[in-house]
Structure 1
Amino acid sequence: MSANSTTVNTVLGAVPADELGVVSVHEALLSVLPGAEHAYDITLDRAEIFETLAARLRDFRAHGGGTIVDSTGMFHGRDVPLYEALSRATGVHIVASTGQGPEELLGGYFLTPQTNPPTPWPADRFADLFAREITEGMVVPRVERRGPAGLVATAATRTGRTATDESLLRGAARAALATGVALSVRHGADAAGDLGVVLDEGLPADRVAVGGLDRQDAVAAGAPERIAGLGARVVLDHVGTEDAGHLTDAERADLVTGLVRAGFGDRILLSSSATGVAKGHPATGTPYSHVLTAFVPLLTARGLDGDDVRRILVANPRDLLATR
């Protein structure tokens, strides 16, 4: 199920990278807090979920969107048959991801293997787990494997990288390197340090997208410029979120403009971390189309032209997602 350098793995199979169109690189379709599906007050009505997500995806397409990347990884509600049906019904390409993290969201199976004393899973075990979801297809529990994942996604603990987080990062980097897909890392407390771990595995910097770089703490530390300077992709992935922990959209637009003028226009990616349907945690109210309808006008008002915008929304994610 591997793809060549001009294709991207979607839930309906490999498609030419040039057909992706506008890409939103870090979203969630169905997001289920691990274990929430077993709670007495949680319902998973598949027909209702389908209709809600289909409406959101059609809105995205109506405003010029082409591809949604569901970057939630393996165990947060990923439903590959549902995503296949949604892609067919709406015409939106959907790229699903493999991967896990951070440590606090892992199941006990991955945290306490039967060793004495208990130790985190080694990086090679995570690498094998993730790589098989790309080369053999994503697991549908108790049933089968489906199409290949198009991205490896992981995250470090917000308060600082743990030993298990490092194992995850290294395993994810090895899987990406072995299969040719890209790696998405939601950084913890040290964006450059987390990036350094995966680069230490030999993964080229331009194959790594570092998320969370529109957090206030990341911006205060100069992380967006530092990550761009190291050659990795800078992901501002909370466009539309305006709270104490993140930039406002106006501040994000200033940051994007500054990065473009500093020569880093080819390293910027945008997304909203929007959740189509959430179970066990609050959903975001941000539509998948927010970047197109509300944020792009802020960029053009600051002097970015159509070529700049197309590069950020189309060319950059296309180059990241194309399997190498």
Structure 2
Amino acid sequence: MYIQTIFGPIAPEELGVCACHEHLSIDLSRIKGDPDTALQDVRLVTEDLRSFKAHGGKAVIEVTNYGMGRNIPALLQIGRELDLQIVASTGCYKDPFIPEDRTSYTRDDFRQWMIDEIRHGMDGTDVLPGVIGEIGSSFNKFEPIELELFHGAIEAAKVTKLPLSTHTTLGTMALEQIELFVKEGLPLNQVIIGHQDLNQQDEVVLEVLASGAFVALDTIGKENYRSDEDRLTSLMKFLEKGYENQLLLSSDLTRNSHMRVNGGQGYDVVLRRFIPRLKEYGVDEKIIQKLLTKNPQQAFSIRKEASL
């Protein structure tokens, strides 16, 4: 097993403390019409990440894919300057963010394109992705193009063994995503279901966990959606039910206003603010290390590629 970073493969134990779902260069302004959603200032992001590093952060799963403002040279620059392990992503996001040159794609088109990126590199570089993601569904439904995208991503994951990380809009469609993966025969230990800290139905999240998939509580610090105290309450319930080996943490920063210098929570919010609260709740250090280190090692490890 190995983890594919932008600088090449590493042993899983080399990953270190890992943020499981972040964006270091992203631009959603084409659809959102808000310049705040174009987070593309490499210097600004690098400086904000210094505090993440100072609090013990070592690695970032960067789930900005094609059409979201993916910028491989920027990731290489940030990674080199900070000595940060960065895992980049292949795939597309969700409707309406899928670029026009992909909106007519069938599942087979998506499958072949993702496999090509996984084997040969992204955006004209030889940098290989280490995750398929974030592959998204809409609020309470799959749009037709999203189903084609999901099917293509599933087939690419089955062939290449890369982990598949999803987006659930406001936490919805998690069980429907699981049902699709089961139906199509993708091992659920290869799947990370995203944004489940936005799913306030704890019983649904527990069903997702019971399936065997990894669950990302990855919008920590975005208290305009839900308070972090509520997130902590849910997390404690999941831990009490014995799911300490399947939970991942992150903050999913996507805006210039999310940077600390601009008054935002910053990339360090999980390590600076959320983990100390977990300790106050009495969570054992071994479990905290699972959430930050051991579980990402498992979730983002790649098994040997299938024979063709």
TM (normalized to structure 1)? 0.85
Question: How many percent identity over aligned positions?
Answer: 27
1:310 aligns with 2:289: yes
Task: Note if contact 1:213-1:223 (Cα within 8 Å) is conserved in structure 2.
Answer: no
1:264-317 CA deviation, whole Å, 9 max, x = no partner?
111101110113658xxxx99221111111001111111211000000110001
The unaligned stretches of length 5 or more in structure 1 are 114-120
Task: Give 1:110's aligned amino acid.
Answer: R
- 2:161 aligns with 180
- 2:253 aligns with 274
Residue 228 of structure 1 and its aligned partner are, at CA, apart by 0.1
Gap change, CA 1:323 and 1:277, over 3 Å in 2: farther
Equivalent residue runs for 1:115-126 within 5 Å: 121-126=105-110
* CA RMSD, Structure 1 to Structure 2 (Å): 2.2
Q: Mark the structure with the bigger radius of gyration.
A: 1
- 2:306 aligns with none
The unaligned stretches of length 5 or more in structure 2 are 304-308
Task: Give 1:203's aligned amino acid.
Answer: L
Residue 158 of structure 1 and its aligned partner are, at CA, apart by 1.8
Cα distance between partner residues in 2 of 1:309 and 1:150:
24
Gap change, CA 1:312 and 1:45, over 3 Å in 2: closer
Deviates further, 223-232 or 191-200: 191-200
1:23 aligns with 2:15: no
Residue 35 of structure 1 and its aligned partner are, at CA, apart by 4.0
Task: Note if contact 2:209-2:215 (Cα within 8 Å) is conserved in structure 1.
Answer: yes
Partner-residue secondary structure (3-state), 1:264:
coil
Cα distance between partner residues in 2 of 1:150 and 1:276:
24
Cα distance between partner residues in 2 of 1:97 and 1:166:
19
Cα distance between partner residues in 1 of 2:51 and 2:119:
32
Task: Give 2:113's aligned amino acid.
Answer: L
1:232-256 CA deviation, whole Å, 9 max, x = no partner?
111111101112xx33111111211
Residue 221 of structure 1 and its aligned partner are, at CA, apart by 6.5
Task: Give 2:112's aligned amino acid.
Answer: D
1:171 aligns with 2:152: yes
Cα distance between partner residues in 2 of 1:308 and 1:45:
33
1:258 aligns with 2:237: yes
Alignment partner of 1:65 out of 42, 57, 67: 57
Equivalenced residues, count: 293
Task: Note if contact 2:16-2:293 (Cα within 8 Å) is conserved in structure 1.
Answer: yes
Alignment partner of 2:197 out of 190, 194, 214: 214
Alignment partner of 1:110 out of 102, 109, 115: 102
1:193 aligns with 2:193: no
Cα distance between partner residues in 2 of 1:67 and 1:191:
26
- 1:118 aligns with none
Equivalent residue runs for 1:234-249 within 5 Å: 234-243=215-224, 246-249=225-228
After TM superposition, the runs of 4+ consecutive aligned structure 1 residues lying more than 4 A away are none
Task: Note if contact 1:52-1:276 (Cα within 8 Å) is conserved in structure 2.
Answer: no
